[in-house]
């Protein structure tokens, strides 16, 4: 199962790395591919994870989650 998170505020690879680290710390996330240029993260999930938890992880990294699809 995959979800895509649109994110505002990332400008470089370092930003994407911070978001990736926080997302991969969420229980149920098996991997995260984050692109600052595309302003999104695609997360692979082992099981259903509440969108609010994914958004909170992005906020913890210091960025603004716009939508989870």
Q: Where are the domains of the chain?
A: 2-68
Residue 6: the pLDDT is 98
Residue 15: how many other CB atoms lie within 10 Å: 17
Query: Mean pLDDT over residues 11-32, rounded?
Result: 97
Segment 5-34 mean pLDDT? 97
Q: What is the pLDDT of residue 29?
A: 98
Whole-prediction pTM? 0.94
Q: Is 62 helix (H, G, I), strand (E, B) or coil?
A: coil
Mean pLDDT of 41-68: 97
DSSP 8-state code for residue 12 = S
Q: pLDDT averaged over the chain?
A: 97
Which class is domain 2-68? Answer: alpha beta
């Amino acid at each position: 199962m995959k979800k895509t998170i649109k994110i505002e505020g990332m400008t470089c690879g370092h930003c994407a790395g911070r978001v990736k680290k926080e997302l991969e710390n969420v229980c149920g996330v098996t991997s995260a591919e984050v692109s600052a240029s595309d302003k999104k993260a695609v997360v692979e999930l082992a099981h259903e994870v509440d969108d609010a938890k994914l958004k909170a992880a992005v906020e913890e990294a210091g960025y603004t989650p716009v939508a989870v699809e």
